[in-house]
Structure 1
Amino acid sequence: MRTRSTTLIAGAAAAVVALGLAGCATSDPTGSGGDAGESITIGSFAFSESEILAEIYAQALEAEGFTVERSLNLGPRQTTIPALEDGSIDLIPEYNGNLLSFYDDANAARTTEEVDTAAASVIPEEFQLLASSPAEDKDAYVVTRAKAEEFGLSSIADLAKIEPFTLGANPQFTEFSYGLPGLADVYGIADVAFQPIEDFGGADTVKALVDDAVQVADIYTTSPDLVAKDLVVLDDPEHIIAAQNVVPLINRSAYSAKLEQVLDAVSAKLTTDDLIALRERVEGSEKAQADVAAKDWLTEAGLI
């Protein structure tokens, strides 16, 4: 009992009142009150950026009184989606474009707004997307700073200035709508030699670009090498590459107004440059732990 009683009757009455109050607190299935002490389990994909994002969500929620369990490094969507469905996890940092493709790979949505709307319409009814962040982790056409300055390259359309050129990317880039087909059909740039490099924009791709073995490369927008090697991400004014904004995906049974408020505040602050810096701390020479990097970012952002 939380307080001492002078009689057993008084103690029993207090217990009944407490139980009644607890029942009232949980009777709303949406949990819209967002009471301090609410419990939630957060998952992540099996790569460092996702773990960092999960830690950011977790620590922001803990700072507002939530009790948070972590279930990190679960694997791909074939693992995380079932875990979200069966309640093994309640929340996961997602990417709106890839989530949309998981449920509808033929959807033509491209901008953040289009992808957010389309994704919300195809996910299971028991799921809910919160506000997406400006931060994106997606494919990008990348050149060296020297090449960009020499030829005045700022957008994909400008690649016509250096045509013909060699492009380095994963083998599937010859088939993807945002790869060689989109480059030709949308931007009219077809005189391109292709160099397959099977590391998803990793060290081999970066080396090929820096060494000028390729003049353009497909590298993800949160790669720390963009800063370390002073590389330039070309704008995509025609949106051949769909948005891949970081967005919280939750099971509706875990929703509360307080949870949404906390995560909306995180999403509003998070940028692509932040993700680059966070990944550099964790994956680079510092080898910082994800929870440490997350805490530092939240502190600097004024969120905890």
Structure 2
Amino acid sequence: MPSNYRPRRRAVLTGLAAAAAAPALAACSSGITSLKGKRTDGSGSADSGAGLVVGTANFTENQILGYLYAEALRGSGVKATVKPSLGSREVVVPAIEGGDIDLLPEYQGNLLLHFEKKAEETEAGELQNALAAELPASLEVLPYAAAEDKDVFVVTRETARKHGLKSYADLKKTDGDLVFGGPAEDKTRVVGLVGFRERYDVTFKEFKALDASGPLVKGALKKGDVDIANLFSTDADISRNDWVVLEDPRHMVPAQHIVPVVRSAVADAPVRKALARLGAVLTTAELSKLNRLVDVERKDPDDVAADWAAEHHLTRE
């Protein structure tokens, strides 16, 4: 992106500790056009009264998170609708920047790398501060959830034994011999082929553009069409298939706590409070259970989110 593409924010929000104070923070506006064609002049409070549109990326977990956001918002009296499966980060971030959606569930480390490819922060608090500085002025990053879901790169137990693989560094022993499978974006992402080359000096025989922790890449790994696959750490299929998650000694993959990204023009107190309440009770273990209900038990993500939100008292009685 050109250096003059976006003004930078200097406000800093640091994780769960900021949750209690979040509702009191003033919203920033840059004359964003709302979904109803109105504009904010920056002189008054932000307003979610017209309702929020929650967008999601095109994989199971992000869809679940989008529906959870909507349930939590409705529980606080905020109207919300969901536009699921819009695409990859390369699609959904421009969508929220352009005002097509108002709210987006994201992942700290990968989101920062989207805006700053040379970012070196890996710890959750550092990432939160860096995101607050890097996001366009029209957007805000709210306190992150307890839940975290990191990109992991896995091999079958057989492949791990055959090549003596325990970490990404061990892949150097197979340099140029293994086939890599993941979403198309992995070809140019730091958490992907770029990172393997720059952090571990590892290249692969072939790259197969499939999906992110989805049926295509997992099917290819089972069949042996790929040797190493990009999955998510909360994916229930990892343990079910006895796949080996390789270690990351050089911290190629930063912390990936779930974090809401919202348009400043609609980030009022009810929105902040609702998402802070959700973030405080949404743990990694709970997120893994929700993924399993959808991916393994084939339940609808909106139903799963609604049931979980009610169980955790996030919805109105």
Is TM-score (shorter-chain normalized) higher than 0.5?
yes
1:169 to 180, 198, 203: 180
Structure 1 position 60 matched with structure 2 position 60? no
Change (3 A) 1:220 1:81: closer
1:101 lines up with 2:113 in the alignment: yes
Taking the TM superposition and a 5 Å limit, the aligned residue runs for 1:1-304 are: 28-30=44-46, 38-47=49-58, 48-77=60-89, 80-85=92-97, 87-144=99-156, 155-156=167-168, 159=170, 163-164=173-174, 167-170=178-181, 177-179=190-192, 182-183=195-196, 186=199, 194-200=205-211, 201-203=213-215, 205-207=217-219, 209-210=221-222, 216-284=228-296, 286-304=297-315
Deviations 1:84-135 (A, max 9, x none): 3454432221233333233322333333333322221111112110012243
Q: Contact between 1:39 and 1:68, CA under 8 Å: does it hold in 2? A: no
Residue segments in structure 1 that go unaligned for 5+ positions in a row: 1-26
Equivalent-residue separation in structure 2 for 1:272 and 1:92 (angstroms):
18
User: Which residue matches 2:29?
Assistant: none
Q: Within 2, Cα distance between the matches of 1:127 and 1:212?
A: 42
- State how far apart, in whole Å, the 2-side matches of 1:178 and 1:96 are: 12
> Which amino acid is 1:115 matched to?
L
Native 8 Å contact 2:149 2:234 kept in 1: yes
Return the alpha-carbon distance in structure 2 between the equivalents of residues 98 and 179 of structure 1.
11
Cα shift at 1:250? 1.0
What secondary structure sits across from 2:51 in the alignment?
A: strand
Query: How far, CA to CA, are the matches of 1:168 and 1:156 in structure 2?
Result: 14
Is residue 222–residue 276 contact of structure 1 (8 Å, CA) maintained in 2?
yes
- What is the CA-CA distance between 1:202 and the residue it aligns to? 4.2
User: Structure 2 unaligned runs (5+)?
Assistant: 1-42
**Offset of residue 257 of structure 1:** 2.8
| Counterpart residue type for residue 61 of structure 1 | L
Whole-angstrom CA distance in 2 between matches of 1:203 and 1:126: 36
Distance of 1:64 and 1:216 partners within structure 2: 43
Residues 125-170 of structure 1 show CA distances to partners (whole Å, capped at 9, x for unaligned) of 121100122434443122445777999976545x47x944854423
Q: Secondary structure at the match of 2:154?
A: strand
Quick one: structure 1 residues 177 and 89, their matched pair in 2 at CA, closer, same or farther if it must change by over 3 Å?
closer
1:10 aligned residue:
none
The sequence identity of aligned pairs, in percent, is 32
Structure with greater Cα Rg: 1
* Counterpart code for 1:116: Q
Greater alpha carbon shift after TM alignment, 84-93 vs 289-298: 84-93
Q: How far apart, in 2, do the equivalents of 1:180 and 1:302 lie?
A: 42
Q: CA deviation at 1:58?
A: 1.0
- Taking structure 1 as reference, are residues 155 and 303 closer, same or farther at Cα in structure 2, changes over 3 Å only? farther
| Alpha-carbon RMSD | 3.8
